[in-house]
Amino acid sequence: MNNSLKHIEPMVHHSQINVPYTWWAGDTAGRFLKTLRDEQTIMGTRCNHCARVTVPPRKTCPTCFTENQTWTAVSDQGTVVAFSVARRQLAALVKKVPVIFALIRLDGADTALLHTISQVDPAEVTIGMRVRACFSKDAGATIMAISHFVPTN
């Protein structure tokens, strides 16, 4: 091996790419997101076979795989079932760190919704904590129509 190549530092080039795209949300997610935007209401689907309520809604029940679903509103309050704290400001994070990501099971739902919790010290977040949704009218028909969740007590 040529000794002159042993101690060469790897060349690193920092850059960013811009990848704009359009994505059709579909009938189920579209209705969920429009209801968030227009009514500040969180909707799920109740399976007419097993009665599980899925939030965000699914066209097909994730438990029994039937498409026989009924739309139902769930509470804007729920319970933290899991959480993680992002402390490094990666480019993909829209919010300033620390960002508390949480799985929140809303009252009336059998599944958990992934979102963020704000206005609390990350060290104070616990599994079982009660939270409520704060809505944003500026976010359009996106999941960010729920701006974040806050502790209720």
User: Which residues lie near Zn ion (CB under 5 A)?
Assistant: 47, 49-50, 61, 63-64
Q: How far apart are CA 132 and CA 106, in angstroms?
A: 9
Q: How far is the CB of 53 from Zn ion (least distance, A)?
A: 10
Q: How far apart are CA 25 and CA 22, in angstroms?
A: 9
Q: How far is the CB of 61 from Zn ion (least distance, A)?
A: 3
Transcribe 27-58 into DSSP letters: HHHHHHHHHHHHH--EEEEEETTT--EESS--
Given a contact cutoff of 8 angstroms between Cβ atoms, the answer to whether 76 and 89 are in contact is: no
Q: Which is nearer to Zn ion, 57 or 144 (CB)?
A: 57
Q: Which is nearer to Zn ion, 51 or 93 (CB)?
A: 51
Q: How far is the CB of 70 from Zn ion (least distance, A)?
A: 11
Q: How far apart are CA 153 and CA 125, in angstroms?
A: 12
Q: Which is nearer to Zn ion, 51 or 150 (CB)?
A: 51
Q: How far is the CB of 146 from Zn ion (least distance, A)?
A: 25
Q: Which is nearer to Zn ion, 68 or 152 (CB)?
A: 68
- Residue 76 neighbours by CB distance under 10 Å: 17
